[in-house]
Amino acid sequence: MSALGVEFSVKPRLVRIGDFPQLELVAWNRKKEDTIPERDALSLYERSWDMVDCSAMTPDEAAFLDKLVHTYGNGVLHV
């Protein structure tokens, strides 16, 4: 591909921090309007799991976290 002058790049899927209340909580040092790669969102959940209130997680956020775990964590939430 480089011989043809074609570059291949994969852009990470981004998520808006403010769309998910528990993610916003663990990303306390960022603006809720900020976007981060999904892989980084999973890392934030895992690193700060003791701050996450699962009972306060919305169904959308729970489904999002499940998707992250299966896509980037090989089905395992490392907490």
Whether residue 6 is contained in a domain is answered as no
Whether residue 48 is contained in a domain is answered as yes
Q: Structurally, how many domains does the chain consist of?
A: 1
Whether residue 32 is contained in a domain is answered as yes
Whether residue 31 is contained in a domain is answered as yes
Whether residue 2 is contained in a domain is answered as no
Centre a 10 Å sphere on the Cβ of residue 17 and count the other Cβ atoms it contains.
Answer: 20
Residues 64 and 57 sit within 8 Å (Cβ to Cβ): no
Give me the tens of pLDDT residue by residue for the chain, a chain 79 residues long: 666 677 767 888 999 999 999 999 999 999 999 999 999 999 999 999 999 999 999 999 999 999 999 999 999 999 9
- The pLDDT, as a whole number, for residue 2 is 65
Domain that holds residue 19: 12-72
User: What is the rounded CA–CA span in Å between residue 27 and residue 19?
Assistant: 12
Residues 48 and 23 sit within 8 Å (Cβ to Cβ): no
Query: 35: closest CA among 51, 12, 52?
Result: 12
